[in-house]
Structure 1
Amino acid sequence: MNIGIIGLGLIGGSLALDLRSLGYQVLGVSRREQTCQTAIERGIVDAASVNLSLLAAADVVFICTPLDLIIPTIEQLIPHLSPSTIVTDVGSVKSPIVTDAVKIWPNFIGGHPMAGTAESGIDAAQSNLFVGKPYVLTPVENTTPETVKIVGEIVRSLQAKFYLCRPEEHDKAVAWISHLPVIISASLISACLSESDLNVLQLAQNLASSGFRDTSRVGGGNPELGVLMSTYNQEQLLRSLFSYRQTLDRLITQIQQGDWAALADTLQRTQQARPEFLASKDL
């Protein structure tokens, strides 16, 4: 099977590495000629080009671009595809992407591997990035069983944890566990910077250790990704943010009123609930 990958950064490059090692013929497309050369030299792909026409022979195409480029990329790709070619993506928001994509390419299925690192670019590509990590496919009513089967088999071959759900379910879920934490983490850093006493701010920066590192990590990520996530999943992100604000207000009230029993109850419940979100995952 020939697999095309558009966007040879961390996710696209890592997909290419693993799929090529599994015996697939991997064809890569990047906007930069240097990236194409690096991908070939490192053995990440069998062939690479800045021209989408390379993917005319592809049976399945993975679009690994930023969210705002997925639909324009599909539009540019269509003239080069066979009608039987399956197109999928790796974007972190599904409903708006899937809705638009199936209108212009019915043989599209949304996808989202929940894997990554703080690094980016072709040099960050690594083998086994998806092993044990969730990988979601989001078929809709008109998605054929054959499409689900073919892409599902590819996902399983990566040793990822394979899930199926509706696009809107996906977006609600990731709003809670991926998008909301980015905004909360960013607000934490921003709140710390509001300290008006420069000596105290400097001391806080000097004393910050593992707790601050863990809770602030995603808020210190790529700003472009955070804005795109918020733009494309605005409704569900706001839904989770409003709920979070209500929860935070309750905690503030408990502390203001010295209701330590209620605070202890809240912290006990969160202590018990956290493992359910992290079961079988790297901590």
Structure 2
Amino acid sequence: MDAGFPRSVVIYGAGLMGTSFALALKRRPSTGSPVRIYAVDRPDVLQRASLHGAFEGSGESQDVDLIVLAAPVGQILKLLETLEPGRAIILDLGSTKVEICKTAERRRLPFIGGHPMTGSERSGPEAASAELFKGAPFFLCPIASTPGRAAVELEDLIRSIGGTPLQITAEEHDRIVARLSHLPQLVSTLLADYASDHRDLAGPGWKSLTRLAASPFHVWRDILQTSGYLPGELRAFIERLQSLLTALEANDLGEIEAVFRRANRAVSEETRE
């Protein structure tokens, strides 16, 4: 394993995630020579990202040992069709993994799927932070063409920027993330839309629950199209809502209390962790 990995990086996408990844790499403990990081994005995005000083410049033709795809899922899929196998490990940061991993495997790329469970309702390089990955689970999804060294080197890299690497299959990832990330986004968005007429009267509870509703749709369009497990999770959630409604209409407060108690325990356990 190369203790200095990576020495040079190209990041496709200089938005929130790509610029944050670059900043985190720049500020991690020294491994010798400083890492050189280049970005590929629209000129206006690169100009805004340059204010952070995270990138040496732009360019996709650089000879690097790590390529990071930090674009929306649809763009990642297109990029995977254009990249050719080489010495560089390819890591993506997309929020769904099955379609991405299938495409990379079909093209026999030196690829490993990645997804840090972190982010913000804000977007763009202005929202970037070197601390974004601190304490966050960071999924890694190897495929048949993943180089033998890639998983170990990327696990070490993720730890060096404060994340917690977890290896998992693409299918397991998409099932878990549909429940923990994609479903909450829809619930938050729907609640904000449903109660928007009275938002000026809302207290902190409504504001906390609707924070995710500030997320722009262009970020979520591709996620919703490729999140194959989300419809099932949404149906299951609707069934739970229906059960709650049935208990409420029957004045069955014992059933509702049981839900509260399970939720209280879940939140308390998370706080202790």
Change beyond 3 A, Cα 1:226–1:43 = closer
TM-score (normalizing by structure 2)? 0.89
What amino acid is the match of 1:268? R
Using CA pairs below 8 Å that are at least 6 residues apart, which structure has the higher relative contact order?
2
Cα distance change of structure 1 residues 29 and 226 upon mapping to structure 2, 3 Å threshold: closer
1:16 paired residue number: 22
Match of 2:223 in 1: 229
State the secondary structure of the residue aligned to 1:127: coil
Correspondence 1:63 to 2:69: yes
1:28 partner SS? strand
What letter corresponds to residue 247 of structure 2 in structure 1?
Q
| TM-aligned CA deviation for residue 279 of structure 1 | 5.4
2:271 and 2:98 mapped to 1: Cα distance? 25
What displacement does 1:39 show? 4.0
CA deviation after TM superposition for structure 1 residue 76, in Å? 3.0
The structure with the largest helix share of the pair is: 1
The match for 1:266 among 235, 246, 259 is 259
Report if aligned partners of 2:122, 2:215 keep a CA contact under 8 Å in 1. no
Distance of aligned partners of 1:123 and 1:188 in 2 relative to their CA distance in 1, 3 Å threshold = closer
Using the aligned pairs only, state the percent identity: 28
Give yes or no for the alignment of 1:214 onto 2:208: yes
Given candidates 4, 7, 30, the residue that maps to 2:13 is: 7
* CA deviations over 1:223-275 (Å, ceiling 9, x no partner): 12233221110x31011111101111110000000111111112111111233
Task: State the match for 2:167 in structure 1.
Answer: 164
C-alpha deviation, 1:2, in angstroms: 1.0
| Amino acid in the other structure paired with 1:26 | I
Q: Contact 2:122–2:214 at 8 Å: present in 1 too?
A: no
Q: What SS does structure 2 have at the residue aligned with 1:45?
A: coil
**CA distance, structure 1, for counterparts of residue 109 and residue 14 of structure 2:** 25
Bigger Cα displacement from structure 2, 39-48 vs 170-179:
39-48
Residue pair 2:121, 2:211 contacting (<8 A) in 1 also: no
- Secondary structure (helix, strand or coil) at the match of 1:145 reads coil
Matched, 1:72 2:66: no
Corresponding position: 1:36 with 2:46: yes
How much has 1:5 moved relative to structure 2?
A: 0.8
Corresponding letter in the other structure for 1:88? L
Q: What is residue 196 of structure 1 aligned with on the other side?
A: none
Name the CA distance, whole Å, in 2 between partners of 1:263 and 1:41.
51
Query: Would you say 1:275 and 2:268 are equivalent positions?
Result: yes
Equivalent in 143, 147, 166 of residue 144 of structure 1: 147
Q: How far apart are the structure 1 equivalents of 2:251 and 2:204?
A: 28
Give the deviation of 1:206 after TM superposition. 2.6
Structure 1 gap ranges (5+)? 194-200
For residue 62 of structure 1, give the secondary structure of its aligned residue in structure 2.
strand
TM-score w.r.t. structure 1 length? Answer: 0.86
Partner SS state of residue 55, structure 2: coil
1 CA distance for matches of 2:128 and 2:180? Answer: 24
Letter in 2 for 1:220: A
Pair 1:254-2:265 in alignment: no
Contact 1:6 1:12 in 2 (8 A): yes
Counterpart amino acid of residue 163 in structure 2: A
